[in-house]
């Protein structure tokens, strides 16, 4: 009986030491300005964000160049409402950023154990650069600056009245009939049973932006929006398309055979 009590107590202690899962962080995908803060003499690959827990890892993308690296999340010390987070001088240098603020994308990442050790040691761990169409879609999500009020000048003295001069109205030119544009043939729908599934997203706008960047389409499936390219007549053609999409930063793309 005493042995069973000791085993149950040890099991409870082991579970108490385990950190609770942070499911909400996986949905975070924030775009906005961040400040560059910290000692320039410390080459740490870190960042902070009020929506990410300290000790986890995140993917930071510079919206100007598309360069992307993995960083360690530190406790957030930024003032509410000013910026969305901060990055260390080491992170800024790895992204090619200077002092001040920069527009970036921050989202959670799950690097391998070897990559985690490299980041903690201050080594730059790169990811594929974000393609230009994706950067354009991300920049459209940046917070808009408030409009600058324009002062309206008021006249101190009334302008003297000017008598209008009547001029003859020229005759309106006769309209010439526009030539009808030649009819364009209707596009032929692509045929085939092979498609490349790039991703399945819960946000319709993000799915549309991703489909545009890979020349694909969006197909709704319940609460998910599947981004697919194709169809292709042969699996070889689908493999070629998948390789091209993977080079753009979507290595999880896979080939699906339609019925």
Asked if pLDDT for residue 172 goes beyond 80, the answer is no
Query: Which overall architecture, per CATH, does domain 25-139 show?
Result: Beta Barrel (2.40)
Q: pLDDT at position 151, please?
A: 53
Q: Where in the chain is the domain with CATH 2.40.40.10?
A: 25-139
Q: Give the number of C-alpha atoms closer than 13 A to the C-alpha of residue 69, restricted to the C-beta side.
A: 25
Tell me what pLDDT residue 149 has: 56
> Residue 221 CA to chain centroid, in angstroms?
22
**pLDDT-based confidence at 105, cuts 50/70/90?**
very high
Give ranges for CATH 3.30.70.1070 in the chain.
194-257
Model pTM above 0.75: no
- 104 pLDDT higher than 90: yes
**Is 194-257 CATH 3.30.70.1070?**
yes
Q: Which residue has the higher pLDDT, 75 or 197?
A: 75
| CA torsion through residues 92, 97, 99, 100, sign | negative
- What does the pLDDT read at residue 180? 59
């Amino acid at each position: 009986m005493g042995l069973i009590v000791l085993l149950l107590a040890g099991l409870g202690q082991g579970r108490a030491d385990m950190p609770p899962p942070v499911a909400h962080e996986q949905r975070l995908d924030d775009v906005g300005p961040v400040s560059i803060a910290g000692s320039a003499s410390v080459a740490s690959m870190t960042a902070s964000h009020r929506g990410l827990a300290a000790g986890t890892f995140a993917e930071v993308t510079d919206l100007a160049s598309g360069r992307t690296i993995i960083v360690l999340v530190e406790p957030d010390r930024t003032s509410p409402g000013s910026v969305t987070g901060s990055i260390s001088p080491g992170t800024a240098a790895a992204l090619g950023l200077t002092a001040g603020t920069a527009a970036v994308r921050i989202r959670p990442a799950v690097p391998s154990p070897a990559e985690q050790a490299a980041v903690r040691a201050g080594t730059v761990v790169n990811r594929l650069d974000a393609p230009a169409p994706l950067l354009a879609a991300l920049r459209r999500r940046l917070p808009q600056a408030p409009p600058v009020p324009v002062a309206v000048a008021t006249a101190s003295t009334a302008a003297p009245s000017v008598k209008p001069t009547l001029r003859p109205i020229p005759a309106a030119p006769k309209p010439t009939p526009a030539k009808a544009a030649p009819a364009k043939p209707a596009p032929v729908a692509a045929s085939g049973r092979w498609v490349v599934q790039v991703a399945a997203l819960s946000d319709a706008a993000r799915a549309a932006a991703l489909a545009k960047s890979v020349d694909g389409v969006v197909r709704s499936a319940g609460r998910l929006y599947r981004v697919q390219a194709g169809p292709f007549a042969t699996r070889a053609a689908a493999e070629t398309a998948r390789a091209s999409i993977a080079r753009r930063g979507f290595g999880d793309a896979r080939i699906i055979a339609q019925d």
